[in-house]
Amino acid sequence: MEKQLTFNKDSNGHYTTEFVSTGNAAVQICRTAGATLRVQAAIGNLTPISIVKFGEDSPKDLIFEIGIYAGVKVYIVSHSEVIEARMIEE
């Protein structure tokens, strides 16, 4: 099932979104510039940890897989503005 992801600018100037995983997913993100992008995950109230990271020299547009179990909270943090983002979950 495809769905759109909405990113909001946080107090650090980063663009973030979060969702609860329903299983493995493919994510495509279109941004204004290449910059660091992190995918973090957490179970319950534990502190989120990085599971995917693209460095500051990464391309502005990315497509990647998030391999995580259903029920895990996922956070995506981009250091540049996200123009559009979509996700397909299994």
Q: pLDDT tier at 18 (50, 70, 90 boundaries)?
A: very high
The reported pTM is 0.94
The pLDDT, as a whole number, for residue 1 is 83
Q: Where are the domains of the chain?
A: 2-89
DSSP category for residue 57 = T
Q: Which residue has the higher pLDDT, 90 or 4?
A: 4
Contact, 30 vs 84, CB < 8 A?
yes
Instruction: Match domain 2-89 to its CATH number in 2.60.120.560, 2.40.160.20, 3.30.260.10, 2.60.120.260.
Output: 2.60.120.260
Contact, 26 vs 65, CB < 8 A?
yes
Q: Which of 52, 45, 55, 46 is nearest to 79 (CA)?
A: 55
Contact, 20 vs 41, CB < 8 A?
no
Q: pLDDT tier at 25 (50, 70, 90 boundaries)?
A: very high
Does residue 53 surpass a pLDDT of 90? yes
Tell me the C-alpha distance between 70 and 73, whole Å: 9
